[in-house]
Structure 1
Amino acid sequence: MDHVLTLVAPRGALSTATLHAARDALAAIGAFTGTPDWLAEAEAVDLPFGGLAPDQADAAARGALAGQPVDVIALGAAGRRKRLLIADMDSTIVTTETLDELAGQAGIKDRIAAITKRAMNGELDFEGALRERVGMLKGLPVEAMERTWEETALMPGARELVATMRAHGARCALVSGGFTFFTGRVAALVGFHEHHSNTLLEDNGRLTGHVAEPILGRNAKLATLKRLAAEEGIGLDATLAVGDGANDLDMIQAAGLGVAYHAKPIVAAAARARVEHGDLRVLLFAQGYRAAEFAAT
């Protein structure tokens, strides 16, 4: 079979009835299917198929499973395991927007979060919105960043995703429109090989209200994906990019497996693959990893 449809549900919640519904939906529009391969009992299954394009299979299965907490990803069967991972940080590898949480230390979280929301949904220029938000933090003691870090939590599945891909030879990079203070800590905690982000400028123990130029934004994320792929001597088809905001969209669309993760509407609508229900472990199942292969963390 040329393609694989992967279904993932919360642990213990994926039934054979759900699998059969997806299979029947594909058959109804002309697909032929193979023997299901369970990657994790009652959690993740691969359904080989042919006779349809991946986007057709994806749409048919999603329609059949509407209302169920099941993630659906259809891909070509060849080259599923990627050799480069590029991941956004905020609301992807960590559960929060660190700039919004930092603004909470200044008592202006709601004001800054409103701008963040618009920027992440593509309504505002990312670079301009970042400068505006950082300017509102002028004079904030740098200790506020440490307090924000103490309250930052990893996204479920983050460590397993990176550890498993590393164990199988992939290069893993954290590429964020956020700040080095946080990306450095997240990269070390999760196990990324490297991190790329922006730098908040400070003077005499307080934020200056400025960010170092040039700003790492949407174009820079795509450029980083292409540069790291070239350094690894691989094509973009061998890469995985994941993120949730509009500044992630170019790299998501360019990667061989580009995933909109619990993403803003503009990103979810434009990405070829999306995760709406599960955690980051879904990205491993989408690559054909079995739960028994996940690296211990």
Structure 2
Amino acid sequence: MPVAAAVMLDFCGDVLQIMLPEGDPATLRRVLDAHFAPSDLLVSAQEIEVPKLFVSDMDSTMIGQECIDELADFAGLKEHVAAITERAMQGELDFASALVERVGLLAGLPEETIATCLSERIRPMEGARTLVATLKAKGCHTVLVTGGFHHFADPVAEQLGFDQVVGNRLAVSDGALTGGLVGAITDSSVKRQVLLDEAARLGESATSLATGDGANDIPMIEAATWGLAYRAKPKARSAADGWIDRGDLTSILSLFGIPRDEWVAA
């Protein structure tokens, strides 16, 4: 694959931009990965610009934890639940059935435990606030879409500045979790549809960015104009247009050519 140019972006510090007149994106990603790992990388078949839509997973992407695993710890079941979570994220288990199984194990846990878990365990991923605030300042609509729960996602979205939240709802009765869910499950197909629906609402020419880390995020990542895998499981990483393996979430801003002096501190 001939290289037309390779230059360091003077406004983004350590970003190397390589331009090819032709070539296979998957092959290019593989070659670059072999020589530059660990790296933060985006391969695009079109001009890279600030997206009009940003849709992101929550657990292990915008926050550093898996909420259901941390909640299970209060029931003394973290090791068991975390093992199921890991297999689901690796794509070894059907997401919906794995979710139903894990939620069922939490039956009887006091609802107030969620607030405790939020305050003691759940922390934003480094760079998350700056990423969301900067994209919004550039006119980007931001959506947090999660296979996790509104009990966690709503306060996380408010903290990080997301415009919209889509997720699952835990069923509660008499102040305790019932072990069930309310309404339809937000799974990989829903994540993808949210991205498509929001992109359509913004207009035919609206470009989109999706980020995630697990197998449940793959359809969303593949449907976006640009799909980025953040510290991701192998299947999600291989499905993406690029990945963040080295830096924090602000690396995404650099890959999209947003100068550091235009980042919005949050």
TM-score range, shorter chain: over 0.9
Alignment of 1:36 onto 2:8: yes
Measured in 1, the distance between the counterparts of 2:184 and 2:148 equals 13
Match of 2:26 among 38, 52, 55: 55
Alpha carbons 1:102, 1:145 under 8 Å: kept: yes
Instruction: Using the TM superposition, give the Cα deviation of residue 38 of structure 1 relative to its aligned residue in structure 2, in angstroms.
Output: 3.0
Instruction: Using the TM superposition, give the Cα deviation of residue 265 of structure 1 relative to its aligned residue in structure 2, in angstroms.
Output: 1.4
Alpha carbons 2:3, 2:18 under 8 Å: kept: no
Deviations 1:139-174 (A, max 9, x none): 000111011101211001111111111001010000
Instruction: Using the TM superposition, give the Cα deviation of residue 282 of structure 1 relative to its aligned residue in structure 2, in angstroms.
Output: 1.7
Flag structure 1 segments of 5+ consecutive residues without an equivalent: 1-28
TM-score scaled by structure 2?
Answer: 0.94
Question: In structure 2, the residue corresponding to 1:183 is in which secondary structure?
Answer: helix
Deviations 1:49-78 (A, max 9, x none): 434344343333222224xx4322222452
- Would you identify which runs of 4 or more consecutive aligned residues in structure 1 move more than 4 Å? none
Counterpart position of 1:185: 155
Partner AA of 2:93 in structure 1? L
Pick 1 or 2: higher relative contact order, CA cutoff 8 A, min separation 6.
2
Measured in 1, the distance between the counterparts of 2:197 and 2:98 equals 26
Measured in 1, the distance between the counterparts of 2:182 and 2:233 equals 27
Alignment of 1:202-213 (within 5 A): 202-213=172-183
* Structure 1 residues 234 and 185, CA gap change in structure 2 (3 angstroms): farther
Q: CA RMSD in A?
A: 1.6
Alignment of 1:157-168 (within 5 A): 157-168=127-138
TM-score scaled by structure 1?
Answer: 0.84
Alpha carbons 1:242, 1:252 under 8 Å: kept: yes
Alignment of 1:231 onto 2:201: yes
* Structure 1 residues 50 and 36, CA gap change in structure 2 (3 angstroms): farther
- Identical columns (%): 38
Counterpart position of 2:78: 109
Instruction: Using the TM superposition, give the Cα deviation of residue 247 of structure 1 relative to its aligned residue in structure 2, in angstroms.
Output: 1.0
Deviations 1:123-145 (A, max 9, x none): 11111111100000000001110
Alpha carbons 1:38, 1:45 under 8 Å: kept: no
Flag structure 2 segments of 5+ consecutive residues without an equivalent: none
Alpha carbons 1:34, 1:49 under 8 Å: kept: no
Measured in 2, the distance between the counterparts of 1:191 and 1:210 equals 29
Counterpart position of 1:146: 115
Partner AA of 1:182 in structure 2? F
